[in-house]
Amino acid sequence: MELLFYSLAGIIVIVVIAVSRKSIVAGMEARSDIKRENKPSNNEEGIEDITNENIEKTNEQVKIINQIDDLILIVDKFKNIKFFNNSAKKKFGENNLNKHVATLLRVPDLLQNIDLVLLKKETITMDLELSSPSFQFFKVYLFSGPTSYVDDPDSVVLFLKDLTDIIKAQRFKSDFVANVSHELKTPLVSIKGFLETISGHAKDDLEAQKKFIPIMLEQADRMESLIKDLLSLSKIELEEHIQPQDKVNLKEILNNVEDIHQKNLKPFEFKNNIKDDFFIKGDHEKLIEVFSNINHEKLIEVFSNIIDNSIKYSEKNKKIEVNCGQGNGKVIGDSYTVSIKDNGIGIPTEQLPRITERFFRVDAAKSKKVGGTGLGMAIVKHIVNQHRGELEIKSETQRGTEIKVHFSKF
C-alpha cells in the first residue's frame, strides 16, 4: 500500500515538473514573439513585474496547480516566497508573499537544501517533520527554476506532499496496541478470576455470585470507558493538524456542557458566569441535537472533561465556577480565555507538567474509584492544540485547581 502511495506521489511530482517546464518554454516563446513584433501587451505591467495575483488571473496552468491538494511554493535566491498555490495558502495563510520561507518553515535542513539546488541545479528530495503547532510530516521535492510563475533562473520550487495522516497512523497504531494491552489487562484478569470462581467451587453459592457479579460489571464498565476514550483520543490526534475554521459561540458550548452535567452538578455550588457571546474558530460537528441546533463535539468534550474532573475530585458543596473574558497574550492576536475553577483536592505542583500525559493519574486509586481512565486531560490537550489554543493549569494541594483555555477570536 505504501509503495503504491509513494509511486502515485512520484507520478504527481513528475507531472507538475513537466507542466512547469512546458509552461517555461511557452512563456519564453511568447515573450520572444512580443519582442520581435514590438507590440505592447494588454498586461505589459504584469509581464514586467510578475506577482502572485496577476498570474492567477492570466495563467491557465495556475488554475491546475491550485486544484491539487499538495503544497507548492516558489522562492527566489534570497529564499523569499514569490508564489504559492491555494493549498499552501490554506496551510500557512494568505499574506506570505515576499516573506522569507523560514517564517513558515524554520527547518535548517530545508534552507540548506534550497542553497544546494540553487548551486547544483539538481532535484533534491527530503523528509520534513514539524512539531509546532502540531505534528506534521511532509515529503519535499526541491527543483530549480525558472518556471512560468517565476521566471527568475535563480529560483527554487518546493513541492510538499503531506504524509501526516499516514505517519501518524503508523505511530499511533503501535502506541495504541501497547496502551490498550497494559490498561485492559487489570480488569480482564479481575473478570476472569471472578468467572473462574463462580463457575468453579462457588457455582452453587448465591451469596458469592451476588458479591462478584456487580464487581465484574464495574470492571466491564471501566473497560468500555477506556476503549471509548482511547478511540476518541486516537481520532483527535490524527486530526490535530487540521485547524477548524467555523464560527463557534463559547457561551453555547458551556451552556451545553452545563446541561450534560446538570444532575452531577446539583451537590455543588456551580456558577456559569458566561452571559455574553464569545466567538472563536471551531468545528460544526453535531453531537447532541436535544440541546442546540449547532453543537460542537470537540469543544464540548474539552469543557466536559474539565468539569467532570472538578466533580470527581471535589467534595460536595464545594464551589465550581466558569468564567470567560479577554485573553492575556497566551496566543497570537486577540483572544478569549475560559476559566474553570474548583475548590477540590488539587494537584501537587511537581506533577502539574505531567497532567496531560496519557494514562497519567495523580492518585491512581482515587481515579479508578471514580471511574477515571487517565485520558481526559490528554484529550483536552490535543483538541486545544487543534484549535491553535493554549492550555494553562494552576493548582495547589487541598486548595483547588484552575484550568484556563485560551482561544483566538473568530
Which of 94-108, 158-172, 220-234, 292-306 comes out lowest in average pLDDT?
292-306
- Which single residue is written with the C-alpha cell 494514562? 359
- Note whether 157 and 44 are same-domain residues: yes
Q: Residue 395 is placed in which grid cell?
A: 493548582
- Note whether 149 and 230 are same-domain residues: no
- Note whether 233 and 254 are same-domain residues: no
pLDDT, tens digit (0-9, with 9 covering 90-100), for 202-259: 888 888 888 888 889 988 888 888 888 888 888 888 888 888 888 888 999 999 999 9
- At residue 252, what is the residue type? E
- Note whether 82 and 158 are same-domain residues: yes
For strand 400-408 and strand 335-342, is the pairing parallel, antiparallel, or unpaired? Answer: antiparallel
- Which single residue is written with the C-alpha cell 481526559? 376
Can you tell me the distance from the alpha carbon of 129 to that of 388, in angstroms, rounded to the nearest whole number?
18
Question: Cβ(10)–Cβ(161) under 8 Å?
Answer: no
| DSSP string of 350-363, one letter each residue | GGGGGTTSTT--SS
Final residue in a domain of this structure, among 225, 242, 259: 242
Helical spans, DSSP H, in 103-249:
108-120, 164-199, 206-239
The residue ranges of DSSP E strands in 333-385, in sequence order, are 335-342
- Note whether 295 and 275 are same-domain residues: yes
**Is residue 372's pLDDT more than 80?**
no
pLDDT, tens digit (0-9, with 9 covering 90-100), for 310-354: 999 998 889 999 999 888 888 888 889 999 999 999 999 889 988
Range of the domain at 78: 2-162
**Is residue 283's pLDDT more than 70?**
no
- Note whether 78 and 145 are same-domain residues: yes
State the average pLDDT over residues 188-202: 87
Question: Cβ(99)–Cβ(81) under 8 Å?
Answer: yes
- Note whether 122 and 237 are same-domain residues: no
Write down the pLDDT at residue 189.
87
**Is residue 136's pLDDT more than 80?**
yes
- Note whether 12 and 155 are same-domain residues: yes
Sheet holding 269-272, edge to edge: 269-272, 319-326, 335-342, 400-408, 390-396
Question: Cβ(155)–Cβ(77) under 8 Å?
Answer: yes
- Note whether 94 and 199 are same-domain residues: no
- Note whether 34 and 101 are same-domain residues: yes
Final residue in a domain of this structure, among 143, 162, 181: 162
Final residue in a domain of this structure, among 242, 273, 293: 242
Residue 26 belongs to domain with CATH number = 3.30.450.20
Q: Residue 360 is placed in which grid cell?
A: 497519567
Q: Residue 90 is placed in which grid cell?
A: 490554506
* Residues counted in the chain: 410
Domains: count for the chain: 3
pLDDT, tens digit (0-9, with 9 covering 90-100), for 22-45: 443 344 344 444 334 444 444 444
Q: What percent of the chain has pLDDT over 70?
A: 80
Q: Peptide bond preceding 133: is omega within 30 degrees of 0, i.e. cis?
A: yes
pTM beyond 0.75, yes or no:
no
| 169 band by pLDDT with thresholds 50, 70 and 90 | confident
**Is residue 399's pLDDT more than 80?**
yes
Can you tell me the distance from the alpha carbon of 85 to that of 90, in angstroms, rounded to the nearest whole number?
9
- Note whether 37 and 173 are same-domain residues: no
**Is residue 273's pLDDT more than 80?**
yes
Residue 222 belongs to domain with CATH number = 1.10.287.130
- Note whether 300 and 314 are same-domain residues: yes
